[in-house]
Amino acid sequence: MPVRVLVESSTPSQVSGANSGHTSFQACTLLGIGQAFSGTQNVSSLQKDEAWRVNVRIQGCDLEHGYLCGTMEALNVPMADTPVVTFWEGEIVDTKNYTFFTGKWEATPEDDIRHWTKFQSFSPLMGQVEVDGGKSLDLSNYPYIFMRWKEQYFVNVGTDCGLTIAGFYYVCFSCSDGSISGFYYDPNSRFSSFSYCPFQKLELKSTNDGRSGFSFPSYELQ
């Protein structure tokens, strides 16, 4: 989800390191393609409390490469006439393709740890992550999936919409109930800086289009 433009955005640099030899990452059906989530992103500042309604849809998933992507729709953005849709790409922290250390987007290992520790489910992993970014952890059976979501472009509005997608989200997905928590991080935005306001928290729940249960569409690229 975009945030207000405040400072110049930064350019992403290198991809994280990778290693091999881990058990392959298991799919979680609730994080499959076509799945939808809805909730809010808290964008409160010292001046006022504010939360935007947010919808997310998973559009692509490639576990082998630790890749996930989809769209994020912000519904009641004050300066926008219509809901603002962005396309994001996600890095799954599978310790094979990506570790807990971002290694780019101006996020230092300290920034990483500061954000990951906001998730309760991260605490058992903390010790090892401090040592090697979690490279030696086997998360294939861990009931939480940690990711970084980086918005890539605006789908339905121009870049002159007064919003920025320069930052990225630290995300934690619960495989049990399909809930998603996330924290937005943009080193150049004072809105995401700790000294000015709390972390911008994203909270989403799995949705089912008003059905009495869960439905799973699918496509297969050739």
Partner 1 sequence: MPASRPSSDLILDRLASSDGQIKLKAIRQLKNHIIGNRTKKLSYIKLGAVPAVAATLADFDSDPNLIVQSAAALGSFACGLDAGVRAVLDAGAFPHLIRLLSASDDKVVDAAARSLRMIYQSKLAPKYDFFKEENLEFLLLLLKSENESLSALGASIIIHSCETGEEQNILCYAGVLDKLISLLYGSLSQRDASLESIAAIVKNNSEAVSKFVDLRGGRALSPVIELSKDKYSRTRLLACLCLICVKNASSCHLQDTGIKTKLINILLELLDDSGQVGDEAPFAFLSLIAEKEDLQKLAFEGNAIDKFYNHLQDCPSHPKRLEGIFLALADLCSKLECCRSKFLSLQMLNLLVDALTHYDANVRTAACICLKSVSRSIKNLSVGYFMNERIVIPLVRLLSDPSTSVQVAALGAISNIVVDFTAHKSVFIQCGGIKELVQLTKSMDPSLRLNAVWALRNMVFLADKMCKEGIFMELTVSSVASLICDPEPSIQEQALALVRNVVDGCMDCVEYAFAEEGIILDAVGRQIRKSSKTEILIQGMYVLSNVASGNEFHKEAIMKLLFPPAENGSRSFFCQFLHSSDSRLRTSAVWVIVNLTFPASPGAFGRIVELRKFGVVSQIKRMANDSCMDVKLRARHALGQIITFGDS
Q: Which residues contribute to the site for partner 1 (CB under 8 A)?
A: 26-29, 34, 57, 59-60, 69, 71, 87, 89, 140-141, 143, 152-153, 155, 175-177, 208-222
Q: Which is nearer to partner 1, 39 or 70 (CB)?
A: 70
CB 190 within 8 A of CB 196: yes
CB 4 within 8 A of CB 30: no
Q: Which is nearer to partner 1, 117 or 120 (CB)?
A: 120
Q: Would you put residue 134 in left (φ > 0), alpha (ψ -120 to 50) or beta?
A: left
Nearest approach in angstroms of CB 34 to partner 1 is 6
Q: Which is nearer to partner 1, 4 or 22 (CB)?
A: 22
Residue type, 178: G
Nearest approach in angstroms of CB 99 to partner 1 is 20
Cα–Cα distances in Å, from 33 out to 29, 49, 62, 144, 197? 9, 33, 10, 18, 34
Nearest approach in angstroms of CB 29 to partner 1 is 6
Nearest approach in angstroms of CB 208 to partner 1 is 7
